[in-house]
Structure 1
Amino acid sequence: MGETIRITGRDPRKDYRYAVYEHKLVTEDGLSYIRSFIVLKNQYGVIVRFTRLHNYTGAYNNRTARPLASDANARMHYICMMLNYILIDNYEVYRIDHVFKVTKGMLVAFFTDYAMGTKADGGHRGSESVENCIHSVTLFFVKLSWKYGGYVAMKRNELYRETQGYDHSGRLVKRSVPDFEIRYVPEEKEIFRDIPTKVFKILMNLALRYAPDIAFAMGLQAFAGLRPGEVMNVRQEGSPKGNGIIFTYLDGRLIRADIDLTHEYAMRSDGVGCGKIKKERRQGVYPPFLEAFQQLYESHKAFLATQTFEADYCPMFVNANGMAMTYGNYYARFQYLVDTYLRPLLLEHSDPECRIYGQMLCENKLAPHSLRHWFSVQLALRGETIDQLQFWRGDRSPESALVYLQNKGDLVRELAKTNELLASFLMEEGALWHGKD
């Protein structure tokens, strides 16, 4: 398989690292996708060997047909960490030179080190990261064992155990879970992402005034729950690849708006990636937010009419060079808006709650993902069920949405005072729609 490191003479084993190599491809009709491989690199970062280990990540398990864009990149990073830990960094301890020889005890040591170790910023990894690592590596060895049988030291019955539980419909089901119990240090610092509705309204008005290039991008997150990378994949209505947004009217009244995220296309002529679509789909705008969404969209169309862009791609969001924005561009513009306009305004605001939040922005960084969080909070406060949250958020599984329902009582207490209606919020602060300052 090419996964053995054998070196004669001096053993410069630590000069080599397993790593993930990404190769970006574009089909003739413009579909963009990435293929990831597990490779071996030397001390200069040069690939010296391609392996076949990417075949055993378990992506789309037991499926004969896979979506073009499917890629197990995230799982591969955990697998590479395990390979480096056992075969290279701790070779003096384990003395094995092939992945087939890895034992369960070695995996326990790796998982424990991963869970108890610190990140580059000095913080500890969260439970979700530890769980993902264990699941990814365990499935990897199950796939190896299934393919190579007796050559692999570990068997499936060592790696999994059967349990019973209830699914989200209340049915009793059997599940196979990794047979490991690893302790971890809980993260002490939570991600700063809460935005009171009154602050959200101020932020959106500031975006329209000072950052019109990203105001609608922020609206796609706040009113349709898109992730920042997904926003950068949205196309204009006149795109050669099909309308990026589809509006449905009844008797002249907008009743539905959908964002086309069914395929990840190349968005720029230079091949630079703009962002990833986590779940390919057509994502609807949450109905109570349709009016505000439409207002933002009309404003953005007026802005685009003053810009140049690549007509072959028709990106919804363009940078100063007329090319599609990347997630990095969006993130930087959002930070500029918060640091230059939002925080100073809040610190001098007449409302004491706004002043307190402005002080919090002096100590915490507010990222674009906070807008999707605000969207999720609004859904929970409006009584949406876990299935509905999963649908409107565009999640693959219900776990992320469940967090909002579990904490709904706290959300109600914290945000009820600022849960204002959105119908006219864009009309405030000086009739922005008419270009008055």
Structure 2
Amino acid sequence: MLEIQEIQGIAPEKEQRYGVYSIQGTLESGQSFTRSFIVLRNGYGMIDSFTGLEKYVAFYQFRTYKPIDSDPGSKLYYVTQMLNYILVDHGEEYGVRHVFEITRDMLEEFFYAYALEVKEDGTHRSRDSIEVCIATVVGFMGNLSWKYGGFMKVNHGLLYKEKLIYDRRGKQKKISVPDFQVNGVNEIKYIFRDIPTKAFEIMIPLAFRYAPDIAFAMCIQAFAGLRPGEACNVRRADSPYGPGITVTEIGGQASKIEIDIRKELKLRSDDVKVGDIKKERTQYVYPMFIDAFMKAYELHMKYMENRKFEKDYGPMFVNKRGMAMTYKNYKEAFDRFVNEHFRQALMDSEDPELRIYGQLLYENTLSPHALRHWFTVQLVLRGEDIGNLQFWRGDKSPQSAFTYLQNKGDLNRELSAASSRLVELLMNFMEGNDDE
């Protein structure tokens, strides 16, 4: 239960803090979109007023066209943190009550506090998070200064500096960049995500036995590189929105598989969002995994034969109520599968390497994101270049792919490429189920 306390003698109904309020909408076509606003909430968490400040967060500001599904939601949190830090938490100390009164020095103090704050898990914020925070807040204050000019204590000249860069044609041009620099704590974060191929070959058949509701979602990630939230957006072939998966056959053999995640669509009658699509696109199953993907698809559709689902939306993955599975549902099911079945199967193996990996799963958390990592490693081991990695992964920029190529030597030494054995294992599982 939420406990309401009076702070410094201020009654909860009079205490105010900035926050973000988001609502979900749906077009007649089924496309979903989000609208986010900067609001003032009282001590009870109730909205006192809509501030309208979200209009000044830099987002498609220099374009005449703005996609309906564009929303600066995540950026608004940086702005509200700044407003709360300066106007609410230190407003009395600074002697300010209005955003117009914020000075450059106050912004700089906030950036330092943001960069050096210790998070709940004991770590500090990453360089990327700090840079995005500074760029977003400076852009917000800059837009306000363009609109309100002399009313404000900061202007463009106090917020930005000019920098010379070279464009693609080698010509120099000037750009404005935030004129702030803060110190951060450089931490090396280890992410446990490697899945040895021999462990993966145990994982997938085991998932179809003990976690059939998510086993095919795992295959979609591992064979087509989708992110977990994107996998939750995949639809059935008979969805009213059109098929989520399209298979092209030549001579009765699948030759191309397309997965449609071009739009975030409404997939539940209760309007709950199932997951984010980071880059809207048509994603293809990597050719080498087509046969394994088709076997997994067949197993999943067999599992779904006696499962209820909301036919108005046609989700591929459903919860116990027949509604589209959300990313949260997927992650919880994945965690249960790893902790209750996969880890023990590895520990029971006669292979010492698998037992060691099973022990690592007691000491580290494996998330469904590891399946996309496995997919990428397989592409690297097959000699795909940076352009192909970006294409098959569905990345907006080549940076992630470049990171994998930088570590190619380590991947070659530590991990092995998957083989046609995946199809054989799934075939054996299907035959075993038919016998039962």
* TM-score, normalised via structure 2 length: 0.91
Q: Tell me which amino acid in the other structure corresponds to 1:322.
A: G
With over 3 angstroms needed to count, the CA separation of the structure-2 counterparts of 1:258 and 1:160, relative to structure 1, is farther
Encode CA deviations 1:20-51: one digit per residue, 9 max, x unaligned: 10111112232211101010101100100101
Displacement of 1:157 in angstroms is 3.4
1-side partners of 2:243 and 2:427: how far apart? 32
Unaligned runs of 5+ in 1: 1-9
1-side partners of 2:35 and 2:359: how far apart? 44
2-side partners of 1:299 and 1:279: how far apart? 28
Q: Tell me which amino acid in the other structure corresponds to 2:72.
A: A
Q: Tell me which amino acid in the other structure corresponds to 2:296.
A: L
2-side partners of 1:122 and 1:428: how far apart? 42
1-side partners of 2:265 and 2:31: how far apart? 4
- Greater CA drift, 341-350 or 34-43: 341-350
Q: Tell me which amino acid in the other structure corresponds to 2:251.
A: D
Displacement of 1:256 in angstroms is 1.4
2-side partners of 1:410 and 1:137: how far apart? 39
Write out aligned runs for 1:260-339 (5 A). Answer: 260-339=260-339
* TM-score, normalised via structure 1 length: 0.91
2-side partners of 1:54 and 1:388: how far apart? 38
- Name the counterpart of 2:430: 433
- Name the counterpart of 1:33: 33
Q: Tell me which amino acid in the other structure corresponds to 1:371.
A: L
2-side partners of 1:165 and 1:413: how far apart? 39
- Name the counterpart of 1:378: 378
Q: Tell me which amino acid in the other structure corresponds to 2:86.
A: I
Displacement of 1:222 in angstroms is 1.1
Encode CA deviations 1:228-275: one digit per residue, 9 max, x unaligned: 111111110111011111122233332211111112111111222211
Is the 1:205–1:426 Cα contact (8 Å) retained in structure 2? no
2-side partners of 1:212 and 1:84: how far apart? 46
- Name the counterpart of 1:4: none
Displacement of 1:202 in angstroms is 1.4
- Name the counterpart of 1:6: none
Is the 2:20–2:38 Cα contact (8 Å) retained in structure 1? yes
Is the 1:225–1:372 Cα contact (8 Å) retained in structure 2? yes
The residue matched to 2:349 in structure 1 has which SS? coil
With over 3 angstroms needed to count, the CA separation of the structure-2 counterparts of 1:385 and 1:63, relative to structure 1, is farther
- State yes or no: 1:410 paired with 2:410: yes
Displacement of 1:325 in angstroms is 0.9
**Identity across matched positions, percent:** 51
Displacement of 1:116 in angstroms is 0.9
Displacement of 1:77 in angstroms is 0.7
Q: Tell me which amino acid in the other structure corresponds to 1:79.
A: V
Is the 1:229–1:327 Cα contact (8 Å) retained in structure 2? yes
Write out aligned runs for 1:41-80 (5 A). Answer: 41-80=41-80
2-side partners of 1:430 and 1:399: how far apart? 37
Displacement of 1:12 in angstroms is 7.0
With over 3 angstroms needed to count, the CA separation of the structure-2 counterparts of 1:246 and 1:150, relative to structure 1, is farther
- Name the counterpart of 2:112: 112
- State yes or no: 1:393 paired with 2:393: yes
Q: Tell me which amino acid in the other structure corresponds to 2:421.
A: S
1-side partners of 2:427 and 2:256: how far apart? 28
- Name the counterpart of 2:3: none
Encode CA deviations 1:160-213: one digit per residue, 9 max, x unaligned: 33445678x796775543222221112344222221222122111211121111
RMSD over aligned CA atoms reads 2.2
Unaligned runs of 5+ in 2: 1-8
Count residues with an aligned counterpart. Answer: 424
With over 3 angstroms needed to count, the CA separation of the structure-2 counterparts of 1:102 and 1:222, relative to structure 1, is same
The residue matched to 1:33 in structure 2 has which SS? strand
The residue matched to 2:329 in structure 1 has which SS? helix
2-side partners of 1:165 and 1:226: how far apart? 35
Displacement of 1:426 in angstroms is 3.8
With over 3 angstroms needed to count, the CA separation of the structure-2 counterparts of 1:403 and 1:284, relative to structure 1, is same
2-side partners of 1:61 and 1:391: how far apart? 29
Is the 2:292–2:426 Cα contact (8 Å) retained in structure 1? no
- Name the counterpart of 1:424: 421
1-side partners of 2:374 and 2:283: how far apart? 17
Displacement of 1:330 in angstroms is 0.7
